[in-house]
Homo-oligomer: A and B are copies of this chain.
């Protein structure tokens, strides 16, 4: 086990009608806020009106910035920074999914940053801690950004999708009401599940030995997610099923499951190039890339992959052929993705070979990626090729 520091002070308010706390929780931080959101869905469901009223009831002055798109754009971040600076705003309430939260975090970082906030996303070295507090009302369980220390932003010029991590990016509070997710379309639901599962897998496949407890916690999270993935497709309006998925989304990415481990994260990097260029859903890209990555790297720790097969998927153990067990785990993961309607090949997304080299090159522009195995440009091209087959 590796040494670690774990500090996650995001207050989680979870349950039916949890959004009713939005006004009083926000008021603890500010009476002058940016209300940040995406498109029309929160207006259709009535969430927008409800939250605006709760904020006004607390006497909070609201400045609005909607229009966040999936794979959130740097240009909107700049706009948000300007609004905050011009109006002395010192708190951002993000109402939406991971894209809205990540956009809010980027704005929160940029307001007091003396340079161009993109510098922090572009280089791995720079850090800036004076970040505005952010609160969240979550509408899509997926990215786990509601309690994470990260933000992912896409710069339109060059289609660069990059992340920035800072402990001060963890939201002050996150309001999670599973009822709000009843109306999520089937596609967004399964893309979310794919993202949550990927956060578990990125942490699971580590070369750090003796991480028994967190192995078990990750396996348990995955098993619960698999069960509820099938159930939610049958019954999208089940509170309990939506609740299991929503809480799994936070647990998978609040870093408790990382304690003492070194996660991999190559698949996320490789996927970011895809969704940066092709503007596909992150979850769709992940279900394509993860099996390909696994096939490319499993020989570097066959026993870990065999453990995954046996413990998560209930595979039979063949002590005389652990590789066969390991491969069965990968196959079962692919079958699961297909079962719930996720793509598993680049061709499913109408993505072909022509830009593999370009994407692989961009992917290593900050150095080799991954930790389970360090990958260079050629490795990444090979993984894209495996994902195409």
A-B contacts besides A6-B12, A8-B8, 19 pairs, CB < 8 Å: A1-B239, A3-B14, A4-B12, A5-B14, A7-B10, A9-B9, A212-B227, A212-B244, A213-B220, A213-B221, A213-B224, A213-B225, A213-B248, A215-B224, A217-B221, A243-B260, A247-B259, A247-B260, A251-B256
Contact of A7 among B12, B215, B217 (CB under 8 A): B12
A67 beta carbon closer than 8 Å to chain B = no
| Chain B residues closer than 8 Å to A13, beta-carbon distance | 5
A55 to B209: give the CA distance in the assembly, Å. Answer: 34
A1 to B224: give the CA distance in the assembly, Å. Answer: 14
Query: What's the nearest-Cβ distance from chain B to residue A29, in Å?
Result: 15
| Chain B residues closer than 8 Å to A332, beta-carbon distance | none
Which of A217, A221, A223 has the most chain B CB atoms closer than 10 A to its own CB?
A217
| Chain B residues closer than 8 Å to A9, beta-carbon distance | 7-9
In the bound complex, do residue B259 and residue A14 qualify as a contact, i.e. CB atoms below 8 Å apart? yes
A367 beta carbon closer than 8 Å to chain B = no
Query: What's the nearest-Cβ distance from chain B to residue A184, in Å?
Result: 18
Q: What number of copies of this chain does the assembly contain?
A: 2
Contact of A220 among B5, B16, B18, B219 (CB under 8 A): B219
A210 beta carbon closer than 8 Å to chain B = yes
Kindly report which residue of chain B lies nearest to residue A6, judged by CB atoms.
Answer: B12
A57 beta carbon closer than 8 Å to chain B = no
| Chain B residues closer than 8 Å to A247, beta-carbon distance | 1, 213, 259-260
The 8 A CB mask of A277-310 against B (1 = contact, 0 = none) is: 0000000000000000000000000000000000
In the bound complex, do residue B216 and residue A220 qualify as a contact, i.e. CB atoms below 8 Å apart? yes
In the bound complex, do residue B11 and residue A4 qualify as a contact, i.e. CB atoms below 8 Å apart? no
In the bound complex, do residue B18 and residue A12 qualify as a contact, i.e. CB atoms below 8 Å apart? no
A15 beta carbon closer than 8 Å to chain B = yes
A216 to B8: give the CA distance in the assembly, Å. Answer: 22
8 Å CB interface, A186-229 against B: 209-210, 212-213, 215-217, 219-221, 223-225, 227-228
A9 to B11: give the CA distance in the assembly, Å. Answer: 9
In the bound complex, do residue B212 and residue A228 qualify as a contact, i.e. CB atoms below 8 Å apart? yes
In the bound complex, do residue B216 and residue A223 qualify as a contact, i.e. CB atoms below 8 Å apart? yes
| Chain B residues closer than 8 Å to A7, beta-carbon distance | 9-12
Query: What's the nearest-Cβ distance from chain B to residue A274, in Å?
Result: 29
Query: What's the nearest-Cβ distance from chain B to residue A54, in Å?
Result: 17
A348 beta carbon closer than 8 Å to chain B = no
In the bound complex, do residue A244 and residue B15 qualify as a contact, i.e. CB atoms below 8 Å apart? no
A164 to B362: give the CA distance in the assembly, Å. Answer: 56
Kindly report which residue of chain B lies nearest to residue A173, judged by CB atoms.
Answer: B7
Query: What's the nearest-Cβ distance from chain B to residue A24, in Å?
Result: 12
| Chain B residues closer than 8 Å to A365, beta-carbon distance | none
| Chain B residues closer than 8 Å to A210, beta-carbon distance | 240-241, 243-244
A2 beta carbon closer than 8 Å to chain B = yes
